[in-house]
């Protein structure tokens, strides 16, 4: 089940990346509910799916902060300011920790030219330094593997 939740995280984070690439994940976004929908995802991660040891919620907060989207507690969602601050601190710790040549883990992983999903694991645990849905879907689905093979051969 953890692999499924990791794939869910990859899909959610990819969605936020895509919105950002198209200028739709921003403080002045024409999509007004990104903050509340993201809070609902965080609530799901820490409440409903809390037994699955999901460790990518801080990346949702990071994506929103990076885009300037305000994320604050709402009465409709059971996510406290303390939880948001805790998640923010998690990603800030990753950003401030230098691991190689004065680079943080995000910069090190983004510089890996031949990055593969296995590069995002240490001691069997996902570290959430980078994700690429096209490569990761290949690990989970035969049809996706055929699509990835076609892309590698430039059939698309």
Instruction: Give the tens place of pLDDT for each residue, 25-81.
Output: 999 999 888 999 999 999 998 888 777 778 899 999 999 999 999 999 999 999 999
- Percent of the chain residues topping a pLDDT of 90: 51
Q: Which pTM value belongs to this model? A: 0.81
pLDDT for 129: 93
Closest CA to 106 of 118, 96, 117, 116: 96
What does the pLDDT read at residue 125? 87
Name which residue leads in pLDDT, 55 or 3.
Answer: 55
Decide: 8 and 15 in contact? Cβ < 8 Å.
Answer: no
DSSP string covering the chain: -HHHHHHHHHHHHHHHHHHHHTT-SSTT-S-TTHHHHHHHHHHIIIIITGGG----HHHHHHHHHHHT------TTS---HHHHHHHHHHHHHHHH-EEETTEEHHHHHHT-TT--GGGGEETTEE--S---HHHHHHTT-HHHHHHHHHHHTT--
Domain ranges of the chain: 2-131
Centroid of chain to Cα 93: 16
């Amino acid at each position: 089940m953890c692999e499924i939740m990791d794939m869910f995280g990859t899909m959610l984070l990819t969605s936020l990346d895509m919105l950002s690439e198209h200028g739709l994940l921003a403080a002045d976004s024409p999509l007004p509910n990104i903050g509340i929908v993201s809070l609902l995802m965080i609530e799901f991660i820490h409440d409903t799916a809390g037994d699955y040891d999901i460790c990518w919620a801080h990346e949702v907060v990071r994506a929103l902060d990076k885009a300037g989207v305000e994320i604050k507690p709402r009465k409709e969602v059971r996510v406290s300011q303390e939880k948001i601050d805790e998640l923010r601190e998690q990603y800030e710790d990753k950003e401030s920790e230098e691991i190689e040549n004065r680079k943080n883990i995000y910069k090190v992983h983004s510089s890996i030219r031949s990055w593969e999903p296995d590069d995002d694991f240490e001691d069997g645990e996902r570290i959430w330094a980078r994700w690429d849905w096209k490569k990761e879907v290949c690990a989970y689905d035969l049809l996706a593997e055929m699509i990835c093979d076609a892309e590698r051969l430039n059939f698309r």
